[in-house]
Amino acid sequence: MTYVIAQPCVDLKDKACVDECPVDCIYEGPRKMYINPDECVDCGACEPVCPVEAIFYEDSLPDELSEYATVDREFFAADPSPGGASSVGVAEADHPVVRAEPVRAAG
Amino acid sequence: MAVQISERVLTQSPDKEVRRLNRVVIRFAGDSGDGMQLTGDRFTSETASFGNDLSTLPNFPAEIRAPAGTLPGVSSFQLHFADHDILTPGDAPDVLVAMNPAALKANIKDVPRGGEVIVDTDEFTKRAMQKVGYDTSPLEDGSLDAYRIHGVPLTTLTVEALKEFDLSRKEAERSKNMFALGLLSWMYHRPTEGTEQFLKQKFAKKPQIAAANIAAFRAGWNFGETTEDFAVSYEVAPAATAFPVGTYRNISGNLALAYGLIAASQQADLPLFLGSYPITPASDILHELSKHKNFGVRTFQAEDEIAGIGAALGAAFGGSLAVTTTSGPGVALKSETIALAVSMELPLVVVDIQRGGPSTGLPTKTEQADLLQAMYGRNGEAPVPIVAPRTPTDCFAAALEAARIALTYRTPVFLLSDGYLANGSEPWRIPALTELPDLTVQFATGPNHTLDDGTDVFWPYKRDPQTLARPWALPGTPGLEHRIGGIEKEDGTGNISYDPANHEFMVRTRRAKVDGVDVPDIEVDDPHGATSLVLGWGSTYGPITAAVRRLRTAGVPIAQAHLRHLNPFPGNLGEVLRSYDKVVIPEMNLGQLATLIRAKYLVDARSYNQVNGMPFKAEQLAAALQEMLRED
Amino acid sequence: MRTELALSAKPLTAKDFKSDQETRWCPGCGDYAILAAVQGFMPELQVAKENIVFVSGIGCSSRFPYYMNTYGMHSIHGRAPAIATGLATSRRDLSVWVVTGDGDALSIGGNHLIHALRRNVNLKILLFNNRIYGLTKGQYSPTSEVGKITKSTPMGSLDAPFNPVSLALGAEASFVARTIDSDRKHLTEVLRQAAAHPGTALIEIYQNCNIFNDGAFDALKDKQQAEEAVIRLEHGKPIRFGADGARGVVRDPATGDLKVVDVTPGDEAGLLVHDAHAASPLTAIGLARLADPDTLHHTPIGVLRDVRRPVYDTQMAHQLDTAVEQKGKGDLAALLTGNDTWTVGSSS
């Protein structure tokens, strides 16, 4: 099981979650943060600190955000376990679903 | 130079007077290094094979080897044997064998006027006597005029008897105890072949030592034969009616208990696991069980008492018949783990060989003051069944009974013996294996509960409706994986639960399980329709029965009952207690059973207590009971 | 792999080892990472799931068995090694794991720990060291740094901490390793080596308690600091660490002690090569003690020692077998009868 980061994160990337994660499994993409499902240990520390409630336990993703169920997992398809976000920089490309999101208005 | 042992058999001279006695009490006393326990054991063995009923009371000092010739170093062995069935090692010795002044001083006050005292005069040197406070020799100053003193230059005679052997004086002196044994064996017409065989076997690798000891033994015998000072010898006929038909052996309580545990493991077809730590007077059980690895017995001498019981509990989780052995101080240390076993509902036999307390107390003296500790000595409501043997041989059956309760109800069980039973011995009718109870366990093999959605699951706390025992699923059984611990758990599922109603239910259910352990009704011996009852538990059985006999012979009717199960009590106990006007409970504590009886049955049971590290004396107990029965 | 262990009929996955219990550790606790690593590793053992047992004591660490879908015992404070010893010696077909903490194992449980190590019973001991008492809400522990201010030490703690791996090495342990909760790869590799080791294996796992001692191991986790602070040991390799391997460990010829030096291309050959199989534990103890007791700077991680010693439960089983060879299988009737009997016939 794992946690996933859904649409509310797009174009915001507050990163409060990164400070909480004990295993450094939250990676940065151009527009959204991504949780590596193999490295996530289900500790739940990230979920309550997101200011926009973008993080959900896999099983608890609300229906309206259901397209984000597999986004994080697919994001890591090429390299399933990079070994810690702090040793990796910002990724070059987002997941297609994220790329397709309309740009968030500033404000 | 090798000295041959002749095969000549020792005989009794026809010229000396022979008197018939129906019972004798002999006490051997000397330095711990003098071999009094060995002497006593051998005399006991001869007596058993002769067919007398007997009861023994070894009395050990606490130190391994106190300075020679001092009072704290005196060790003694008392043996009571008779031509009828007897129950105690005797209130007082008829004969005291004192190997030195310290032994004399420590024991003479127990010898009644007119008793016989045999002393090794060689050891009564000025220095030895002064060491223990004799300013003048008691053998000469008239202070022992009330007794019949036999002064024997035992040391000299022994050394003389062994002069042909290539031994130093010190080595030769070590056979003094065999000389004394030979003399006493002559005095009481004891068969000697057994002792000679024993010595040959014990020293099989050192034939010279065997020969020397046998020579000393025979010299002692011959001394009795020839010396005028010993004008009379005594016969005590075999106890023809004391023993039902069967094959007998002599056995001590601890040995019987150890055998009982092995028998239980065989009857249950489970490997025996003992986790233990040496402590007087329980260590012998650890030693004995460690000899029987060929029975699959695993003995683990742990780093401390807690690790001992911890390892036993771990073995129980894995399906062994798990046991831990200790005395009072060890029970105190084990209490947390016992409570864990109560909560986890796993079988575990906790053997407490009680000794004088509190704290380190009197390690080599007996007492029965751990009853309330066994009943209550844990945090929270943690009931544990309690079984108490009543005689040395009863330790065998009591061990099987404790194992039965533990395995059937999945609970720790206390087996409360004491130092007196542990080291005392008596003849035992060896049971046939077919007489032993079947203790086979049914382990859980598959799911035992169906959920609402139809899934079959295993619930580790779904109880047998009759015994309230939970199922016992062993690691290695597929599909029954579960986790249990000491935190309160939900009935049925076994998951951690802090729910108030569940906790109440579990506390009461654990109590109900123990209350419901099936135990036989208590039997009352009341041939004269008495109005008073004497109730006891544990090793007081012998002295109480002897006291009751005296009272009845003197025309005082009294009923007797003896508890073997202290928790739960037998179902008919309340009714029995209420049918007597007076109930007296003699105990070697300050009234622990009395406290339980009074609380549960609201009966005005009275206590007669003695807490001096010694068993009750029958005569004294009879007098006390008589007095108490007279009062209102 | 011991021949007594029952193997799984089918391949297992990490999911098979997850129990149905909701995990109740504080969000962000390092225990989650250790649980994930252990669950991820268990299938590799290939032991039948029903033959694996986790035994714990008391503490946050000790909630561990509830989250593993195996047999488990959540016992009492400090006593898990003793209880597990009884289980392991009587059931050699089981793979027995002990989960404990710095309080459970080094305070109340210290005695049982050193004896388990001394005996070399077949147990794998996972010691979660968070340098604090978590479950009881924040008192200092036997591994806390001197002067630590906690609820029970408002003026700072007075006692010097244990170095757990040094203690274990001193207690004759045949396998001693240290790893870090968040380094999944390293933790898994250490588990692998421990599982393969016959006898007692002690693995100290630095674990972050984010509620009562957050950041205790930051110096060892922060990428920048870790390079200089952590000495990674690998059997057979020269001991080097730091940026570009600029630091190394050598033996001082004058004192015989180990010390950390700057490595120059010229003296690479003088670097100590880590030998986890060395018969004597002295060098391993020396490595263990390079660590600063309070800051943990220069702490070695990895397998410090992995040697073969006789295994207690194997020897105990051997004694039982030998007894049967010598005396034959136990005959209860003969035992009860003994050597010295007499018979009472029907009375005439």
Confidence band, pLDDT 50/70/90 cuts, at residue A27: very high
Q: What's the domain count of chain A?
A: 1
Which residue segment(s) compose the domain that A40 sits in?
3-98
DSSP per residue over B383-411, as a string?
Answer: ---EE---STTHHHHHHHHHHHHHHHHTS
User: In angstroms, what separates the C-alpha of C54 from chain B's closest C-alpha?
Assistant: 9
The per-residue pLDDT for range B112-124, each reduced to its tens digit, is 999 999 999 999 9
Q: To which H or E segment does residue B78 belong?
A: strand B74-82
Confidence band, pLDDT 50/70/90 cuts, at residue B229: confident
Nearest to A23 among C25, C27, C182 (CB): C182
Are B413 and B534 within one domain? no
Whether pLDDT at B557 is above 60: yes
The per-residue pLDDT for range C34-52, each reduced to its tens digit, is 999 999 999 999 999 999 9
Distance CA(B585)–CA(B537), nearest Å, equals 9
Nearest to A22 among C23, C182, C223 (CB): C182
CB pairs under 8 A between A and C: 43
The per-residue pLDDT for range B187-220, each reduced to its tens digit, is 999 989 889 999 999 889 999 889 999 999 999 9
Smallest CA–CA distance from B256 into chain C, residue: C336
Does the beta carbon of A39 lie under 8 angstroms from any beta carbon of chain C?
A: yes
Best mutation target among C19, C69, C181, C182 (most A Cβ atoms within 10 Å) is C182
Which subunits have 3 or more CB–CB pairs within 8 Å of chain C? A, B
Residues 6+ apart with CB under 8 A from B592: B368, B369, B371, B372
Residue B322 bridge partners (DSSP): B273
Whether pLDDT at B544 is above 60: yes
Confidence band, pLDDT 50/70/90 cuts, at residue B9: low
Domain membership of residue B297 (yes or no) is: yes
Buried b (16+ CB within 10 A) or exposed e, B39-60: bbbbbbbbbbbbbbbbbbbbbb
Tokens of C30: 């390092």
> Which has more pLDDT, B203 or C230?
C230
Are B290 and B398 within one domain? yes
Residue C240's nearest CA partner among C213, C273, C282, C194 is C273
Residue B143 bridge partners (DSSP): none
* Eight-class DSSP state of B175: T
Nearest to B318 among C21, C91, C341 (CB): C91
Are B118 and B203 within one domain? yes
Of the residues B490, B518, B546, the one at which a domain ends: B518
Q: What is the pLDDT of residue B73?
A: 86
Interface of B with C in 92-151 (CB under 8 A): none
* Eight-class DSSP state of C150: B
Can you give C241-278 as a three-state secondary structure string? ECHHHCEEEEECCCCCCEEEEECCHHHHHHCCECCCCC
Domain membership of residue B12 (yes or no) is: no
Cα end-to-end span (Å), chain B: 75
Nearest to C27 among A45, A83, A86 (CB): A45
Of the residues B200, B235, B270, the one at which a domain ends: B235
Q: What is the pLDDT of residue B572?
A: 98
Does the beta carbon of A41 lie under 8 angstroms from any beta carbon of chain C?
A: yes
Residue B623 has phi, psi (to 5 degrees) of -65, -45
Domain membership of residue B240 (yes or no) is: no
Question: Which CATH number is B546's domain given?
Answer: 3.40.50.920
Smallest CA–CA distance from B195 into chain C, residue: C340
Looking at beta carbons, which residues of chain B come within 8 Å of C320? Answer: 293-294, 296, 298
User: In angstroms, what separates the C-alpha of C303 from chain A's closest C-alpha?
Assistant: 21
User: In angstroms, what separates the C-alpha of C91 from chain A's closest C-alpha?
Assistant: 32
Whether pLDDT at B380 is above 80: yes
Are B271 and B313 within one domain? yes
Domain membership of residue A13 (yes or no) is: yes
| Yes or no, beta carbons of A23 and C184 under 8 Å apart | yes
Are B422 and B451 within one domain? no
Burial class of residue B496 (count of CB atoms within 10 Å of its CB; 0-12, 13-18, 19+): middle
Residue that the structure tokens 């010299």 belong to: B219
Buried b (16+ CB within 10 A) or exposed e, B195-222: bbebbeeebeeeeebbbbbbbbbbbbbb
Q: What's the domain count of chain B?
A: 4
Whether pLDDT at C348 is above 70: no
Domains of chain C with CATH codes: 14-216+308-321 (3.40.50.970)
Are B458 and B530 within one domain? no
B333-B334-B338 Cα angle (round to 5) = 150
What CA–CA distances, in Å, run from B478 to A3, B447, C71, C123, C218? Answer: 32, 10, 10, 22, 42
The stretch C213-240 carries a mean pLDDT of: 95
Are B576 and B594 within one domain? yes
Helix (H, G, I), strand (E, B) or coil at B38: helix
AA letter at B446: G
AA letter at B543: P
Question: Which CATH number is B417's domain given?
Answer: 3.40.50.970
Residue C241 bridge partners (DSSP): C247
Are B120 and B56 within one domain? yes
Residue B379's nearest CA partner among B414, B348, B337, B336 is B336
Interface of B with C in 370-399 (CB under 8 A): none
Confidence band, pLDDT 50/70/90 cuts, at residue C3: low
Confidence band, pLDDT 50/70/90 cuts, at residue B70: confident
Does the beta carbon of B51 lie under 8 angstroms from any beta carbon of chain C?
A: yes
Domain membership of residue B2 (yes or no) is: no
Domain membership of residue B8 (yes or no) is: no
Whether pLDDT at C2 is above 90: no
User: In angstroms, what separates the C-alpha of C18 from chain A's closest C-alpha?
Assistant: 10
The stretch A51-60 carries a mean pLDDT of: 94
Helix (H, G, I), strand (E, B) or coil at A51: coil
Whether pLDDT at B527 is above 60: yes
- Where in C95-170 does DSSP place strands (E)? 95-101, 124-129
Q: What is the pLDDT of residue C317?
A: 97
The per-residue pLDDT for range B425-451, each reduced to its tens digit, is 999 999 999 999 999 999 999 999 999
Domain membership of residue A45 (yes or no) is: yes
Residue B596's nearest CA partner among B627, B573, B624 is B573
Smallest CA–CA distance from C65 into chain B, residue: B483
Distance CA(B320)–CA(B301), nearest Å, equals 17
Whether pLDDT at B1 is above 50: no
Tokens of C42: 């268990």
Helix (H, G, I), strand (E, B) or coil at B148: strand
Nearest to C76 among B241, B296, B486 (CB): B486
Does the beta carbon of A47 lie under 8 angstroms from any beta carbon of chain C?
A: yes
Task: Report the relative pairing of strands A55-57 and A3-5 from DSSP bridges.
Answer: antiparallel
Length of chain A equals 107
Looking at beta carbons, which residues of chain C come within 8 Å of A39? Answer: 184
Distance CA(B25)–CA(B22), nearest Å, equals 11
The stretch B156-179 carries a mean pLDDT of: 91
Are B309 and B411 within one domain? yes
Distance CA(B57)–CA(B77), nearest Å, equals 6
What CA–CA distances, in Å, run from B599 to B388, B594, B605, B620, C208? Answer: 20, 8, 10, 28, 53
Q: What is the pLDDT of residue A1?
A: 81
| Yes or no, beta carbons of A43 and C28 under 8 Å apart | yes
Asked if B328 and B369 touch (Cβ cutoff 8 Å), the reply is: yes
Q: What is the pLDDT of residue B171?
A: 86
> For chain A, what percent of residues have pLDDT higher than 90?
84
Question: Which CATH number is A15's domain given?
Answer: 3.30.70.20
Looking at beta carbons, which residues of chain A come within 8 Å of C25? Answer: 43
Best mutation target among C119, C172, C340, C348 (most B Cβ atoms within 10 Å) is C340
| Yes or no, beta carbons of B294 and C323 under 8 Å apart | yes
| Yes or no, beta carbons of A20 and C208 under 8 Å apart | no
Q: What is the pLDDT of residue B529?
A: 94
Whether pLDDT at B138 is above 50: yes
Helices B541-553 & B618-630 angle (0-180, nearest 10): 60
Domain membership of residue B10 (yes or no) is: no
Smallest CA–CA distance from C347 into chain B, residue: B240
Q: What is the pLDDT of residue B169?
A: 87
Does the beta carbon of C84 lie under 8 angstroms from any beta carbon of chain B?
A: yes
- Where in C79-161 does DSSP place strands (E)? 95-101, 124-129
Domain membership of residue A106 (yes or no) is: no
The per-residue pLDDT for range C307-332, each reduced to its tens digit, is 999 999 999 999 999 999 999 999 99
Residues 6+ apart with CB under 8 A from B191: B46, B49, B50
Confidence band, pLDDT 50/70/90 cuts, at residue B62: low
User: In angstroms, what separates the C-alpha of C75 from chain B's closest C-alpha?
Assistant: 5
> Which has more pLDDT, B325 or C22?
B325
Residue C165's nearest CA partner among C210, C214, C113 is C113
AA letter at B199: L
CA atoms within 13 Å, Cβ hemisphere of C226: 14
The per-residue pLDDT for range A59-68, each reduced to its tens digit, is 999 999 999 9
Helix (H, G, I), strand (E, B) or coil at B533: strand
Domain membership of residue A107 (yes or no) is: no
Confidence band, pLDDT 50/70/90 cuts, at residue A81: confident
The per-residue pLDDT for range B462-507, each reduced to its tens digit, is 999 999 999 999 999 999 999 999 999 999 999 999 999 999 999 9
Q: What is the pLDDT of residue B68?
A: 79
Does the beta carbon of B314 lie under 8 angstroms from any beta carbon of chain C?
A: yes
| Yes or no, beta carbons of B275 and C89 under 8 Å apart | no
Does the beta carbon of C154 lie under 8 angstroms from any beta carbon of chain B?
A: no
AA letter at B30: G
Tokens of B190: 């004891």
Which subunits have 3 or more CB–CB pairs within 8 Å of chain B? C
Which residue segment(s) compose the domain that B314 sits in?
248-434
Name the CA dihedral angle for C150, C156, C160, C161, rounded to a multiple of 10 degrees.
20
| Yes or no, beta carbons of C23 and A42 under 8 Å apart | yes
Whether pLDDT at A107 is above 60: no
Are B60 and B121 within one domain? yes
